[in-house]
Amino acid sequence: MTEPLVEYFYGETLRWSFGFENPNKAAVLFACAMPFLWWGWVAAWKIRNLFLRLVALVMASAAFLGAGYCLSMTFSRGGLLAACVGVLYVVASDFREEKGRPAWKWISHAGLLACFAGLVMWTGLGARAGEAAGGDRSVGNRVELWKSALQMSVENPRGFGAGSSGAEYMQWYQNTDSEEGYRTMVNSYLTFLVERGWLAAAGVALVFTCFWAWTVPGVGNRAAHGMRGVILAFLTAGIFSTTMEDWRLWIFPGIAGVILVGMAVRRRAQPVKWVFLAYGGVTALLLITAAAFGWNMSVGDLIQREYSKNGIVSVGKRSGVAGSLGFIPDEKVMGPLYGKLLRELALKGRKVVYIGENALEEKTLMLAGKGVHSKWDAGVEDLILLAPEKIDEAGIGRLFGKSKNILLIVPEVDEDGRIGFWEEVAEKEGIELEVLFGLGTRVDWAWPEVIDLACPN
């Protein structure tokens, strides 16, 4: 069974999604269509037969405004900006190509654009777009997310892996008091950079720069300008949402790209060097600026993170560190966002927290939940067990036989029998036991208390 689509609203108005899981994706289709439809409107003026010209103009203007209305009903501000960029590029190119066009033709173009602007205001998208200037929550969350994305790309330049950017952000970078959920970086470019790394991002940028320089339209080729407007709309839309992951949204820009390549091959085009150098320089400058900003964010962060090819290795307080400990987490007792808890532990406990296999080399080791006895087989000075599962007698011997100081931290409510089991073990072995009152298996609700117990001043 397929899951039902989530419905999105602006105020009390339903945002049209046209079968996509998100209205922002639907907006991309119409944003890409509008530059092409505007080119159709311009081309209709070239029809010599007056009757056919009028019919074509009416149909072209109706199609343009219809696409504009559908775009407006998605209430996507990014889609609106993308459409404006694409259409204005085609308008500017047309103006440059034909400066001697009669004034009344330009007045008609301005009238069509004014009708589109009226649609935007009438549907309410204009009001929503105006809210962005006031810094609403949607915009503010994006800014914080994008800043962290640049920091993530610098601290792990190889990339976090496809589909993992949102989860990694929430674990290791999101403010600990924030609860918004993310699947991506809500930006196609930053999502690709964070997940695939700098080498892949630079390669894609180089390929696109070569394509853009090679397909510069010849004089009078308005069709090519229309195709480039479609691509520009698509590229602009990718800034504000992760839209490029959906193959359906590549249809319009893909067709436009094929047409541009065909035109370039037909006229045996050569890359325009100044265009290549200009766009290549701008792209390189953007990448360098992004890296510099990410580096600045990283050095100013209170938390320092270390990565290997297998993922996160440690998180620690950048300065004033009082020690280190190893930690093997378990989502069942710490929740899925245990990374936030480990960052709190690093800050408040003034520790460097080593995670996973690196944790086993530390003198102080904290093991949570499931399988603690199977993940450790060496002596440590301090062993802390956090809501551990029940284990057999042999496991107890391996855990306690080589450690000097042992601390058991267990919740009060015994949901699966583990609390009673460890209370008996603590009494029998003479081990210190601390109870988190009012909790079941999940201990993240009392995390400040856990930090105080694990890292006493």
Q: Measure the CA–CA gap between 69 and 120, rounded to whole angstroms.
A: 7
Strands 382-386 and 364-368: parallel
Same domain, yes or no, for 433 and 330?
Answer: yes
Same domain, yes or no, for 421 and 315?
Answer: yes
Is the C-alpha dihedral spanning 122, 127, 128, 130 positive or negative?
Answer: positive
Same domain, yes or no, for 119 and 214?
Answer: yes
Q: How far is the CA of 399 from the CAs of 207, 369, 409, 435, in angstroms?
A: 56, 14, 15, 20
Same domain, yes or no, for 279 and 377?
Answer: no
- Which two tokens mark 182? 């993310």
The pLDDT of residue 456 = 81
- Which two tokens mark 412? 């009060």
Q: Measure the CA–CA gap between 325 and 350, rounded to whole angstroms.
A: 10
How many structural domains is the chain composed of? Answer: 2
The alpha-helical segments, DSSP class H, found in 197-315 are: 198-214, 222-240, 251-266, 273-299
Q: Which of 288, 312, 332 is the last residue of a domain?
A: 288
Low pLDDT (below 70) residues in the chain:
1-5, 97-102, 104, 132-136, 219-220, 271, 371-379, 401-402, 457
Same domain, yes or no, for 206 and 321?
Answer: no
pTM above 0.85, yes or no: yes
Same domain, yes or no, for 247 and 355?
Answer: no
First to last CA, the chain: 54
Contacts of 160 (CB under 8 A, 6+ apart): 152, 168, 194, 195, 311
The residue type of 197 is G
- Which two tokens mark 450? 């856990």
Task: Please report whether residue 149 resides in a domain.
Answer: no
Same domain, yes or no, for 439 and 369?
Answer: yes
Q: CA Rg, the chain, in Å?
A: 29
Same domain, yes or no, for 331 and 444?
Answer: yes
The pLDDT of residue 136 = 67
- Which two tokens mark 454? 């694990």
pLDDT digits (tens, 9 = 90+) for 266-279: 887 776 777 778 88
What is the span of the domain harbouring residue 61?
Answer: 9-134+200-288
Residue 319 burial (CB count, 10 A): 8
Task: Determine whether 272 is exposed, middle or buried from the number of CB atoms within 10 Å of its CB (0-12, 13-18, 19+).
Answer: middle
Task: Please report whether residue 152 resides in a domain.
Answer: no
Strands 13-14 and 9-10: antiparallel
The pLDDT of residue 133 = 63
pLDDT digits (tens, 9 = 90+) for 23-46: 999 999 999 999 999 988 888 888
The pLDDT of residue 304 = 93
Residue 33 burial (CB count, 10 A): 22
The H or E element spanning position 337 is none
SS3 218: coil
Phi, psi torsion values for 105, nearest 5 degrees: -70, -40
Same domain, yes or no, for 403 and 343?
Answer: yes
Q: Measure the CA–CA gap between 124 and 132, rounded to whole angstroms.
A: 13
Phi-psi region of 10 (alpha: psi -120 to 50; beta: other; left: phi over 0): beta
Please provide the DSSP assignment of 340-384 as one string: HHHHHHHHHTTEEEEEGGGGGGSSEEEEESTTGGGS--S--SEEE
Residue 174 burial (CB count, 10 A): 22
Beta bridge partners of 311: 308
Same domain, yes or no, for 253 and 309?
Answer: no
| Nearest one of 236, 211, 213 to 88, comparing CA atoms | 236
Phi, psi torsion values for 315, nearest 5 degrees: -130, 140
The pLDDT of residue 32 = 95
Same domain, yes or no, for 340 and 377?
Answer: yes
The pLDDT of residue 61 = 93
Same domain, yes or no, for 82 and 223?
Answer: yes
Q: Measure the CA–CA gap between 400 and 449, rounded to whole angstroms.
A: 24
